[in-house]
Copies of this chain bind each other. A is one copy, B any other.
Amino acid sequence: MTEPDPKSPPRAAAIHQALRQAILEQALAPGAKLPEDLIASQFGVSRTLVREALGRLAAEGLVELRHNRGASVAAPSLAEARDVFAIRRAMELLAVDALCGRLEPAQAARLEAHVEAEAAAQATSGPTSIRLAGEFHLLLAELTGNALLQRYVAELASRCSLILSLYGRPHSADCAVEEHRALIAALRAGDAPACRALMDHHLAAVMGRALLPPKPGDMRAVLARYAGTPAPSPPRRAKARSA
């Protein structure tokens, strides 16, 4: 009416976004039940919209939907974590390949401004720092101009956040800023191998944080899983759930 909204405000998307944020911030822990009725009353809407939002979240892998048994926050297994990481790595390498040597000045400026914001937030706000570190990768995907890649990276990054909240350390973004800076430099220089290596190392650091939780001793076994080789530990079963 009098409001400047060009599109009508999509109501289901608001619920979707709110639940998504709650999950990623661990306000809703992995495995937590998500009763439709409760959520509906909490948001002041009917169950229909909640259902739709839960359906989308399930498509993104953030919630698990069991027939006649309702929805719950996803609790990915380590095997699923490995799958997600492998695909995220491929997608982000695709992004840097597309950008390497083709970065326009305005795009480089956006990246550098973002990293500066990261550096600024690093000193003060913890949550903001984490959020910005993740959004750097979204920005990379966006700059490729490939909308589908952007969607996939967003989805995969979200699942990574959930996985890190399950298995990982609290995520110290200390190193991330420097690694982001180095990547931008390599992109500007058009050094494709360096770009790939930097991105690879950067993501491997994230993976490592997820896989070396309590005891540094089983690092080798954990890495063996990531490599996909059942080599030195045959009696290990792949059913490691709820650990």
Q: Which residues of A contact B (CB under 8 A)?
A: 7-8, 10, 52, 55-56, 59, 61, 67-68, 80, 82-84, 86-87, 90-91, 93-94, 98, 102, 145-149, 152, 228
**Copies of the chain in the assembly:** 2
Give Cα A84–Cα B150 distance, bound, in whole angstroms. Answer: 12
Which B residues touch A152, using CB under 8 A?
Answer: 87, 152
A146 and B52 contact, Cβ closer than 8 Å, known pairs A90-B91, A91-B90: no
Min C-beta distance of A82 to chain B, whole Å = 8
Q: List 17 A-B contacts (CB under 8 A).
A: A8-B67, A52-B55, A55-B55, A55-B56, A59-B59, A82-B146, A83-B148, A86-B98, A86-B149, A87-B91, A87-B94, A87-B146, A87-B149, A90-B90, A90-B93, A98-B228, A152-B152
Cross-chain contact A149 with B52 (CB below 8 angstroms):
no
Which B residues touch A55, using CB under 8 A?
Answer: 52, 55-56
Cross-chain contact A148 with B10 (CB below 8 angstroms):
no
Which B residues touch A102, using CB under 8 A?
Answer: 228
Known: A10-B67, A87-B94. 13 other contacts (CB 8 A): A55-B55, A56-B59, A80-B148, A83-B146, A86-B98, A87-B91, A87-B148, A87-B149, A90-B90, A90-B93, A90-B94, A98-B228, A102-B228
Give Cα A186–Cα B21 distance, bound, in whole angstroms. Answer: 45
Which B residues touch A7, using CB under 8 A?
Answer: 67
Give Cα A80–Cα B91 distance, bound, in whole angstroms. Answer: 17
Give Cα A168–Cα B146 distance, bound, in whole angstroms. Answer: 21
